Structure formats: structure tokens, C-alpha cells
Amino acid sequence: MIALLSMAILAKVICAVVLVQGSANGAKYGSFTGSSVPPSPHVVFIAADDMGWNDISFHNPEIISPHLDELAASGIVLTDYHVYKVCSPTRASFMTGRLPNHAGLHNFISHNDPQAISKHFVLLPQALKAGGYETHIVGKWHLGFFDWPYVPSNRGFDTAFGYMTGAEDYYTHTNGKGCTGLDLTFGVGSNLTAQPQYKDTYSTMMYQGRILDIIAKHDAAIPLFLYLPFQSVHEPLQAPDVYVNRYPSTYANGSDSRRTFAAMVTALDDAVGNVTAALQRTTNLWQHTLLIFTTDNGGNLAAGGNNLPLRGGKFTFWEGGTRGVAFVSGPLVPTGKRGTSNVGLSHACGWLRASILLV
């Protein structure tokens, strides 16, 4: 019932954004014409890692996240949106359109767990690819990699750049928790190769660079699905000094962890701003783009996160662990819907079915 309700709520939001009217060039949405108009909208799906309810500026003005704020203010904010208490199950919901238990995941997947989403499921990128989309993942997978059929580049993504496990150092790109090797690969299909040249590059900027490269090379006439599960703002707490110094040393009563965490949010915000700016510079990309932003679970109270006024955090079933930040944005949002909130109950499992409505 929850899955059906979530599908209905998110489908309502998506349908409010994308008007299925048909056009002279065969596009199934809007009233756009022209040779470079895609037959379906481009979809940019951004997933923040461990971002809590009070970790974004439209809930907490002490956080510096102007680009996310602007996107939310020009879109539709989901005020009663829910996720699982930890990451892998929520990500399974993103990909399968099912509640975590029905997707077979009840906890996060450890680096040495021979576990993954079953091949019986058609994942979101596979469904969109069947509808003519070009598909890319940049960032964290964390849905199983113990055998080649389960890596993201064999689950519907044309290319995959990022890491397989749940957390790693932002600069060395190694896990360090019983998994000491480099966890950063790029490739297609089963041809994934290690990327040691990015050592000492902060991951948020590294992923931003790959995303900008995809955008620059993309043919705007082909619908694009960009799945961008950033590493930010999961522990370890690491941020470049240029971002840490944007917060005074007295920030959060002198808490170094909260100050660094806030800096990580601001770094993520800059990356999102640069991605949207690149889309805007590219002819016929941004004006035909639907942008989805979501967290995967509540903030981790032991690692700088904050979910006030909600109770609890990551790892708990209180709302602080399971009620998430989310919004839909982009130029396809009708003027009358911009800056509004959807108060209906929704869940991460609704994105797949809602997105398929675009194909």
C-alpha cells in the first residue's frame, strides 16, 4: 500500500511537471519543437549521502547551500518524503521501485558481503535505457559488486564512474575498513578499470569533473539519465579548507565535526551549482531537464549530521532517520507550481514508477 501511495504521489508531482501533450516533432511532453528536442525529458537524479533534515539551508539558514536552495525554491519540495534508515536499502528502492524488504535488502551491504540486488529486477536505468535514454552513474553504487553481473555498468548504465562500497576517504578513495585497496573505477560493462590518477583529488570535485564531461559531449536530442549519488556528506568528515573557512571557528558552539560537515554540504552545493550551470550552457539540455534531489537516509548524529526538530537519526526508525530532504526542480516545473510544497506521503520507492511515466 505504501509503495502504491508513493507511486501515486510522486506520479502526481511528475505529471504536474511534464505535460504529456505531444508535439510536431513527436515529443511526448510539453509543447516544444525543434530537431534537438529529446523525445522524453532529460533526468538528473542527485542523491546526497547522509544529509539530514537540518543540513540544508531551506531548513537551516546557518548552512550555506544557495544553489540547492534556489533549485528547491523554483521547484516542488516534498515535505513528507520517506527513506530507509540506512543507505543500501534506500538505494535499492530508487533502483527497483520497491520497498527495501521487497527488494531483498534490510541493511547496508558491507564490502565483504556476497549480496546484491537480484537480477530478476528491472532497474531504473534499464527501464529508461529501453525507452531510448543514454544512462550514466557518477558516484556511489553500494548495491552489490561480488560478481560482474551486479556492477552498475551491467545493470543498465552505459558508463560507471565511482566506488562500490559504502564509504571511503575523500582523497585517497580507499575504504580502510578491512578493504584497503583502491575503490574507484571507470568503464563499461565488465570492463571496469582502477583510476589511481585521482589520488589527492577531493571526490566532490572529481565527480563534478566527470559529470561536466558527460554534459559537454552529450547530444541533446537523445534523452539523458544522469544518476549522481555523490559521496557527500557521508563520513569521514573531510572538506577542503576553502569550504571549512566559510564557517567561523565558533560555528556550532565550536564543534569541529559540525563545522567540517557543514563545509562538506557547501562543497556539494557548489558542485550541484556547477552541474546546473553546465546544463544551462548547453543548447536544449537544461530547458528539457527534470532534476530530482533526495537524501538516502537521515543525518548521522555521530558524524556531524543534524535532523532537528525531528527525533533520532541514521540507523533509527525515528523520523530523523527516515524522513528525508527531497525536491523536484528544473525548467519543466510549471510557473504555477514553482515554490510550492507537496504534503502527500511519499517514499523513495516511488521514483522508478514516476520516472517511467516520462518515457
Q: Tell which residue, 186, 121, 184, has the closest CA to residue 150.
A: 121
What distance in Å separates the CA atoms of residue 28 and residue 46, rounded to the nearest whole number? 24
What distance in Å separates the CA atoms of residue 343 and residue 78, rounded to the nearest whole number? 6
E-assigned strand segments in the chain: 42-48, 76-78, 81-82, 134-140, 159-163, 185-188, 191-194, 224-229, 289-295, 326-329, 340-342, 346-347
Of the residues 142, 173, 234, 347, only one is catalytic, namely 142
Residue with cell 543507505: 87
Confirm whether 173 is a catalytic residue.
Answer: no
Of the residues 42, 59, 87, 347, only one is catalytic, namely 87
Contact 121, 353 (CB under 8 A): no
What distance in Å separates the CA atoms of residue 96 and residue 127, rounded to the nearest whole number? 10
Residues in the chain: 359
What distance in Å separates the CA atoms of residue 59 and residue 55, rounded to the nearest whole number? 7
- H helix intervals, 248-349: 251-254, 256-281, 319-322
Confirm whether 136 is a catalytic residue.
Answer: no
What are the residue numbers of the active site?
87, 142
